[in-house]
Amino acid sequence: MENDNSINEVKAEVNNPQTQENPINNYNSYQENKASNFTKPKNTNPKKSSRIFVPFISGMLGACLVMGVCFGVPSIKNKIMFSEPILTEEGEEGNSEVATRKFIDLEDYSKTSTSVAEKVLPSVVGISITYNVNTFFGSSSATATGSGIIISEDGYIVTNNHVISSSSSNSFYQITEASGIKISLYNDDTEYDAKIIGSDSYSDLAVLKIDKTGLTAATIGDSNEVQVGEFAMAVGNPLGMDSTVTCGVVSAVNRTVSDDEGNTYMAIQTDAAINQGNSGGALVNAKGEVIGINTLKLSGTGVEGIGFAIPISSTTEIVEQLKEFKEVKRPYIGIIGTSVTDSAAQEFGFQKGVYIREVAEDSPAAKAGLKVSDIITHINGTKVKTIDELNAVKNKCKIGDTVELTIIRNGEEQKVSVVLGETPAVTEEETPTNTTTTTEPKQETPERKESSPSIWDYFNFNY
């Protein structure tokens, strides 16, 4: 109320005609009245400052407590202060930002590599093979090397078929089957004689056996869980250098590669160095589990860091059959076919698929009524255009299973059920090698596509 009265008096003074005559006096009177009549408002809430001050002090004390705990724990203190600098080559602490970074990640990587190597090396063997070479000048012997993986403590070893089966010939020489196989174990100077239990050229796998027990079997992983970019180590016997490891990553999975005989492989690609002699060795993950069998590398001018391994999960059943039957019993349709090329499809009006050139007598195909010139377009609902695609689906089935083939006969689509039989010991089964057979094309058959260089032409099959 006191302030309100003062304001009213000032307004009255300002509105007084006498004061308006002299604006300067009017302003000075206003300032004097303002100074004399206005008083500073009183603090009606003395606890307001304490409500701000107490939380502030509490926050400061809490921050000090937290910092004290952090600096009291060495691991936390090191992370905050970067107190472990990297030393320069002269042994002095570097001053740059890079030099003060911790190398804990590199240290962990090194520990992973060493622990994996220690676990895997006792399970990988060196293989030495002796061959007889016949030439115009007589006979001589030659040796080759490879690697293998111990799969049981009683002496079973898995390797590549091309490691132990390198028979070849031309007009100048002939190489016979292996006449002797020696196995070298980790940290063991003794060489052990090995015998071939079974081999399979289609999957490029073979099983050997040595007369020794108490071996360290490799831990088998699940190659279906392999991811691109994860740690990978190749272990083997490159160039005769026993127990060599090389590290890298998984570069790709489910990579399709084909050899010069038409065999198609689904492989794991890695940049871990794979050299001659690594074939048959192990590709392992960060847990020391085998995820693949090193098979080959891509080499040539400007090519580096491209190697392939057979996924270990795809070998399990094959290895068991090789141990039990000495061969792989695969389901059998009983046809010889070729792929319908684009040019043949256009020229003859054929639909893309597998053209049947021959039906084996008394085969499942013959019993089901398949005929020459039928074109298989689907198997169990899966579209197929090549023999490889047909085999990929067929080989997932078992002997005795019934498969449904969709065929084109005389321009009409039909469904045919075929009960798969067992592949005969000697047969021209529907394997990719048949697709490279050169024959004179007949007017009523699709023109054969000439064999072209494949990615495997650059591979060295002598491991």
Distance of alpha carbon 34 from alpha carbon 424, whole angstroms: 119
- Cα 192 to Cα 161, 209, 280, 335, 432: the distances in Å are 19, 10, 17, 43, 36
Other CB atoms within 10 A of residue 234 CB? 28
279 carries an active-site annotation: yes
Q: Mutual orientation of helices 74-81 and 48-72 as an angle, nearest 10°?
A: 100
Beta bridge partners of 358: 336
Cβ–Cβ under 8 Å, residues 252 and 436: no
CA angle 381, 387, 393 (to 5 degrees): 40
In this structure, what token pair is assigned to residue 182? 């020696």
Q: Diameter of the chain by CA atoms?
A: 144
Residue 363 one-letter amino acid: S
Instruction: Transcribe 282-300 into DSSP letters.
Output: EEE-TTS-EEEEEEEE--S
Q: Which residues contact 127 (CB under 8 A, 6 or more apart)?
A: 145, 146, 147, 148, 159, 163, 164, 181, 182, 183, 184, 194, 208, 237, 280
- Cα 321 to Cα 198, 315, 326: the distances in Å are 9, 10, 7
Beta bridge partners of 379: 382, 405
Catalytic residue (choose from 128, 147, 162, 388): 162
In this structure, what token pair is assigned to residue 108? 């962990």
Distance of alpha carbon 396 from alpha carbon 391, whole angstroms: 8
Other CB atoms within 10 A of residue 435 CB? 20
Catalytic residue (choose from 199, 279, 339, 363): 279
- Cα 218 to Cα 111, 141, 190, 260, 327: the distances in Å are 20, 33, 20, 31, 23
Q: Mutual orientation of helices 23-37 and 2-15 as an angle, nearest 10°?
A: 170
Beta bridge partners of 319: none
Cβ–Cβ under 8 Å, residues 394 and 331: yes
Catalytic residue (choose from 166, 200, 203, 204): 204
- Give me the long-range contacts of 46-52 (CB less than 8 A, separation at least 24): none
Instruction: Transcribe 225-264 into DSSP letters.
Output: G--TT-EEEEEE-GGG-SSEEEEEEEEEEEEEEE-TTS-E
Q: Which residues are catalytic?
A: 162, 204, 279
